[in-house]
Structure 1
Amino acid sequence: MSTKDVTRQLATWIVGCRLDDIPAPVQAEGVRTFFNWMGCAVGGASHETVDRALAGIGPFAGKPQASVLGRGERLDVPNAALINGISSHVLDYDDTHLKTIIHPAGPVASALLAAAEYQPMTGADFLNALIVGVEVECRIGNSVYPEHYDRGWHITGTTGVFGAAAAVGHMLKLNETEMVWALGIAATQASGLREMFGTMCKSLHPGAAARNGALAAFLAKAGFDSSLRAIEAPRGFANVLSTKQDYNEILGGLGQNWEAGLNSYKPFACGIVIHPTIDGCQQLREELGDAVRKIAAVRLRTHPLVLELTGKRTPKTGLETKFSVFHAAACALLRGDGSPTAFTDEAANAPDIIALRDKVSATSDTSVHEASVVIEVEFTDGRVIEKVIERAIGSHEKPLSNAHLERKFAHQASLVVGDEVTQALMALCWRLPELGDVGEVARASVPAGLRDAAE
């Protein structure tokens, strides 16, 4: 394998990959990826963050070419990709490539579906491009993780732009040189800072990656060129944004070993490293009943990433609670909740949750797996019990079933668009490979009344 032309070798694979080249289990995971993403995008559509983003860009948006999922607005393709990327991530309920903590679908599906409303494509072609995009972003992520992430880059934003460019470029049938350009245009727009976690700006990262990746593909199609070695050059993406550059992670086994088949889906609407704690605390609540009111202290032993990513001791807003293991533990013990309703401004400031949150402590332990936790609960009478979660629900060892994905989709989407629209939308998403026009899914996400008003 030559490291002198990584970008070109990757582009060659992107251009040549066909749906028949993708194993059936990976295709099935691609459908699950799309299904989960759509539920999250519609579920997040009414969030204040989306309202403010639309208020900011609305006056400058172009022709109404693509749907804002779950809402009545229609925007130009780049801005529709931006908004749908924001809404799909704002609840922190989306998918996760566990090896890198990338949330793959937000940048890729948001860009691709917006483009597909402008240039219609079949569901099968969409699935092909979606899987290609997810594969590209995850492999590029593998090549620089964890050093890239440890430097403070939000890897969903920085690698998602490549995935979006690859997917839309595949849809546009870019040739090899054009695809190299698209990857280069994407590379020079790679961005997203972990400092933004707990703010509206975090969900901007996948949205911006979707918009910028789509633009990269459209610019390349128009003949807009870039460096031919944007990933591997001394001043390219990998060398500038990371101290690790393992190009075998990009090219090794390409088309044979599939990162897109390793996607996972969140059972809880928060940072994924908190999930073992919520899983364990929900189980404790079921076992303890009213005794949770007699808790004197909760002590957690967690993987070091938990406190690094979710160590907010006194969150004040719903977005901040998604990065507080202390809040998550208290809310799960008191309410049994890990859904979006557990991470609202109301929950952040609820007196009973705050009181129990203040009794929760956590210590880092390198011997604890990322998907595990040890929870020790002490009661007011001095009694102590322990709960160990070896692998949390949603991990590779305990993946969410299709039935669980449907419950998750229905719970969040029905609050925004109602039960009837939600049920019809879920059925369409499962039928993705059969659809003659995938844009039908985007349009079906908008209730008739809102759609009529927009028209």
Structure 2
Amino acid sequence: MNAFNRRSLLKVGALASIAAATPGLTFAAEAAKQAPTHPVAKPGADGQGVTRILARYIVQARYEDLPDNVRREGTRTLLNWVGVAVGGSHHETLDRAIAALAPFSGPAQSSLLGRSERFDVMNAAFLNGVAGHIFDFDDTHLKTIIHPAGPVVSAILALSEYHPVTGKEFLNALILGVETECRIGNSVYPNHYDTGWHITGTAGVFGAAAAAGKLLGLTEQQMVWALGLAASQPVGLRESFGSMNKSFNPGRAASNGLFAALLAAKDFTSSEAMIEAKRGWAHTISTKQDFSEITDGLGSRYESALNTYKPFACGIVIHPAIDAAIQLRNENSLTADQIARVDLKVHPLVLELTGKKTPKIGLEGKFSIYHSVAVAIIQGAAGERQYSDSAVLDPTVIALRDKVIANIDPAIKPEQVDMTITLKDGRTLHKFIKHAIGSLEVPMTDQQLEAKFLDLAKGILPDEQARKLIATCWGVEQLDSAANIAKAATVAS
């Protein structure tokens, strides 16, 4: 039974004292034992009370209560994101954003990963958020296609250089932020996404607000306001995919969420039901609202434990096809000149998201299953170098790309692909991928994450510094100051 399907909110003092006296019991279990304080109609069912229930959990959640597997996944999330943010730090998108914002930046409070410049906290959160998403190589919550780390880590990493926190406090906030945005995303997905919203931005702002608010020590009431102010700032449309604007979305979600938490810390108010109210966030931006997804199992079921990491630098729905292409290439020593055609059976979402047949720039290539399959067969990889402008315009890649045929098959799930390669000598090669590498079923190992990190940092950080940065991320729980992560990721001017 959902512990929050009650007719009242919970008594804060009683909950805190019982939780302290009974370690190991979940927030949801303790909540179920509390007597009513003031009536609210069915929180979690028709939605009333959801914002406050979530705020109360965020404020009361302790690092010590996190299961070991959740802490571990939070650390892997941090490591992966820092690597992709360093890797994306010198993309022209960042250069242009820095040039645009530098004249207006405030005090040099926070670092830019992989660079020497320092910006004010708000702009640093935005810029690092852009860097961490520009390659489309960041983490993915597969249930919602949210990229959770970007909005959260970029916000609290910038904040940690101004407002000192320990590594344990930082990791707890990171996990709570990911938990918040993914639960809120669950409540409106897929309808919200299908409408055209970029859910990493629209839900990510809640994660940034929750995580930053946790580090700022917001009260329950202030956290309610922070979530409300976050709800007022949904950002990101799917039309932006394939352009610099896509990475703008998680960057802006980071700075918007931080903005909300800072205002709330000074008692800047909001409606107390901004998530669930009739004219609030969920009802305004989606035709689906399942508020139990936000409140069920708080403290016992962790969406943050379901995070995944990309072995390929493109949209997640292309990964099964890339996996199949690389496997067939390696198993058969395939070369492009042997291939007559490549037939794919895919889920409808694949062509909806990645159906660009003739990408002109690298960013567009990330949303082309045709380019991705071709370059994977030719080069045996689909990292950032395979999505450069030069790779997209390579005549050999284009020639093979034109032989790739993708057809929708309702029997194929989004995480699957059925690939048949017909060779010029008449032979056919077949591969069905049920779960691609990087999925929950076939996760990337710690060693693979480190290799990905080192490859992304190549040419930006010296190898020794990159390895020390990896060690700093793995050791986040032992850090006296979380700001050491950002400092370890910068370069001398």
* Other-structure match for 2:300: 256
Task: Using structure 1 for the length normalisation, give the TM-score.
Answer: 0.98
2: CA distance between counterparts of 1:315 and 1:60?
A: 35
* Aligned equivalent of 1:388, options 418, 432, 437: 432
SS in 2 for 1:417: coil
* Other-structure match for 1:100: 144
Task: Using structure 2 for the length normalisation, give the TM-score.
Answer: 0.90
* Aligned equivalent of 2:405, options 338, 361, 364: 361
In structure 2, do the counterparts of structure 1 residues 290 and 364 end up closer, same or farther at CA, with 3 Å as the change threshold? Answer: closer
User: Contact 2:335/2:378 (CA < 8 Å) preserved in 1?
Assistant: no
* Other-structure match for 2:386: 342
User: Contact 1:136/1:163 (CA < 8 Å) preserved in 2?
Assistant: yes
In structure 2, do the counterparts of structure 1 residues 24 and 290 end up closer, same or farther at CA, with 3 Å as the change threshold? Answer: closer
In structure 2, do the counterparts of structure 1 residues 334 and 291 end up closer, same or farther at CA, with 3 Å as the change threshold? Answer: closer
1: CA distance between counterparts of 2:293 and 2:394?
A: 46
Matches within 5 A, 1:58-77: 58-77=102-121
* Other-structure match for 2:96: 52
Q: Could you give the per-residue CA deviations for residues 61-102 of structure 1, whole angstroms, max 9, x where no partner exists? A: 111100011101101111000000000000011000000000
Superposed displacement of residue 418, structure 1 = 2.3
Runs of 5+ unmatched residues, structure 2: 6-42
1: CA distance between counterparts of 2:461 and 2:362?
A: 22
Amino acid at match of 2:398: I
Matches within 5 A, 1:224-303: 224-303=268-347
SS in 1 for 2:160: helix
SS in 2 for 1:314: coil
Q: Could you give the per-residue CA deviations for residues 357-406 of structure 1, whole angstroms, max 9, x where no partner exists? A: 00001011121122211111111122222111121001111000100000
* Other-structure match for 1:425: 469
* Aligned equivalent of 1:211, options 228, 241, 255: 255
* Other-structure match for 2:451: 407
> Which sits farther off after the overlay, 286-295 or 208-217?
286-295
User: Contact 1:34/1:105 (CA < 8 Å) preserved in 2?
Assistant: yes
1: CA distance between counterparts of 2:207 and 2:290?
A: 18
Give the structure with the higher percent helix.
1
User: Contact 1:43/1:415 (CA < 8 Å) preserved in 2?
Assistant: no
* Other-structure match for 2:356: 312
User: Contact 2:184/2:203 (CA < 8 Å) preserved in 1?
Assistant: yes
User: Contact 2:334/2:377 (CA < 8 Å) preserved in 1?
Assistant: no
Superposed displacement of residue 290, structure 1 = 4.6
1: CA distance between counterparts of 2:140 and 2:459?
A: 24
SS in 2 for 1:70: coil
Runs ≥4 residues deviating over 3 A: none
Q: Give the root-mean-square deviation of aligned CA atoms.
A: 0.8
SS in 2 for 1:394: coil
* Other-structure match for 1:325: 369
The answer as to 2:424 corresponding to 1:375 is no
The answer as to 2:466 corresponding to 1:440 is no
* Other-structure match for 1:453: none
SS in 2 for 1:139: helix
The alignment-based identity, stated in percent, is 55
Q: Could you give the per-residue CA deviations for residues 295-332 of structure 1, whole angstroms, max 9, x where no partner exists? A: 01001011111101000000000000000000000000
* Other-structure match for 2:81: 37
Q: Could you give the per-residue CA deviations for residues 409-446 of structure 1, whole angstroms, max 9, x where no partner exists? A: 00001232221211111111100000000101101111
Runs of 5+ unmatched residues, structure 1: 451-455
SS in 2 for 1:375: strand
Amino acid at match of 2:300: Q
2: CA distance between counterparts of 1:440 and 1:334?
A: 41
Superposed displacement of residue 292, structure 1 = 3.6
* Aligned equivalent of 1:181, options 217, 225, 237: 225
Amino acid at match of 1:186: A
2: CA distance between counterparts of 1:251 and 1:48?
A: 41
SS in 2 for 1:220: helix
User: Contact 1:285/1:292 (CA < 8 Å) preserved in 2?
Assistant: no
2: CA distance between counterparts of 1:403 and 1:293?
A: 34
SS in 2 for 1:211: helix
Superposed displacement of residue 165, structure 1 = 0.1
2: CA distance between counterparts of 1:115 and 1:253?
A: 29
2: CA distance between counterparts of 1:29 and 1:409?
A: 16
> Which sits farther off after the overlay, 109-118 or 367-376?
367-376
> Which sits farther off after the overlay, 286-295 or 243-252?
286-295
1: CA distance between counterparts of 2:114 and 2:335?
A: 41
User: Contact 1:29/1:261 (CA < 8 Å) preserved in 2?
Assistant: yes
* Aligned equivalent of 2:212, options 164, 168, 181: 168
1: CA distance between counterparts of 2:262 and 2:56?
A: 18
Q: Larger Rg: 1 or 2?
A: 2
Task: Count matched residues.
Answer: 449
User: Contact 2:335/2:377 (CA < 8 Å) preserved in 1?
Assistant: no
In structure 2, do the counterparts of structure 1 residues 361 and 290 end up closer, same or farther at CA, with 3 Å as the change threshold? Answer: closer
* Other-structure match for 1:82: 126
Amino acid at match of 1:14: I
SS in 1 for 2:340: strand
SS in 2 for 1:416: coil
* Aligned equivalent of 1:139, options 176, 183, 187: 183
> Which sits farther off after the overlay, 320-329 or 383-392?
383-392
2: CA distance between counterparts of 1:344 and 1:421?
A: 25
1: CA distance between counterparts of 2:363 and 2:372?
A: 12
Superposed displacement of residue 291, structure 1 = 4.4
Q: Could you give the per-residue CA deviations for residues 263-282 of structure 1, whole angstroms, max 9, x where no partner exists? A: 00000000000001111101
Superposed displacement of residue 22, structure 1 = 1.2
2: CA distance between counterparts of 1:345 and 1:5?
A: 49
Q: Could you give the per-residue CA deviations for residues 344-366 of structure 1, whole angstroms, max 9, x where no partner exists? A: 10011000000000000101112
* Other-structure match for 2:193: 149
2: CA distance between counterparts of 1:232 and 1:291?
A: 55
